[in-house]
Amino acid sequence: SDESPNVGIVREVKEETGLDVEVIMPVDTGFFYRGSKEFPMVFISYYCKYITGEVKLDWEHSEFDWITLDEAIENQDLKHFSKMFINLKNLKKYLPESFRFEFSSI
């Protein structure tokens, strides 16, 4: 497809959550196995700004929770993302001043 990563992120977030976001910047890359070693996964994580909308669950999800970065780091169900969460937490000091206020809420 000719879709850029940023356009794809905005579309996927809308489809999966019902939220409109603005992509600010990439913050991390990583690698893990989904299930067995037959399914290697590479990801790029992006910092996005919430614009509007309310979370809408689809047939794939039964519930959601908003959690802090510290809770995400400690959550055993998210342990394969813990490095990314730690990097995101450490990123705050490198953000432009204009992002620091918004970033402090995560």
Does residue 97 register a pLDDT over 80? no
Its domain, for residue 21, covers 5-103
Task: Let me know: does 51 contact 64? Beta carbons within 8 Å.
Answer: no
pLDDT digits (tens, 9 = 90+) for 32-70: 788 878 889 888 888 888 999 999 988 888 888 888 888
Domain count, the chain: 1
**CATH for 49:** 3.90.79.10
Task: Let me know: does 45 contact 13? Beta carbons within 8 Å.
Answer: no
